[in-house]
Amino acid sequence: MNKVVANADEAIKDIESGMTLMLGGFGLCGIPENCISALVRKGVNNLTCISNNAGVDDFGIGLMLQGRQVKKMISSYVGENAEFERQLLSGELEVELVPQGTLATRCMASGYGMPAVYLLAGVGTEVAEGKEVRNFNGKDYLLEYAFDSDYAIVKAWKGDTQGNLVYKETARNFNPMMAMAGKITIAEVEELVPAGELDPNEIHTPGIYVHRIFQGSNYEKRIEQRTVRPQTPKGA
């Protein structure tokens, strides 16, 4: 099976309006920038996007929100995107807020082939409304369903032509678990190498989970919120 494609446009060519997509990343760290830009160019809409958050207004998923391409967001955090907030409050965008650990576990459940899991997070809160609650050993747990996504789109530091992936530091975040969970997984990487060049002990996502891979380009790697220490005056 030849998994290598030329670029992001070829990788997402059969993604259609109305589909459900998982998008790796945490804030702006480790997001599949090239594939998101290709989705914006293609103009697909009515999408359900599963992502830790929606990034910022003018970058990443924020660009898809600007183009009214997203029908529903399933996320943990939405605080840095003014357009997201506007669409939510106006009723233009359907939003399902999910505790961060629950989001990760629902991804993993999908990857492991588990239809549902019982979790502690959200018990006794608005998150529990309408959900089955079951008691185990004196504690209540919520029934949470595994995600059902058409595509998972992830970004890695290095990958090989067999689809094996290595993530770098914080960019590992949600990418490995989402890579397991998509019916079709697309990976963009900063460096694509021949099969056999990656150290097997350092591979985070085995190639069996990846269906398409390409070497991306022009990564901006923005910092969502830059925090610096105040400069100490000379002689102080």
Write down all domains in the chain, each with its CATH number in brackets.
8-115+146-215 (3.40.1080.10)
Task: Tell me the C-alpha distance between 64 and 209, whole Å.
Answer: 26
pLDDT (mean) for 155-172: 96
Residues 6+ apart with CB under 8 A from 73: 48, 49, 51, 54, 61, 84, 93, 94, 95, 96
Check pLDDT > 70 for residue 236.
no
pLDDT at residue 124 in the model: 92
Per residue in 97-139, pLDDT (tens digit) is: 999 999 999 999 999 999 999 999 999 998 899 999 999 999 9
Task: Tell me the average pLDDT across 155-178.
Answer: 95
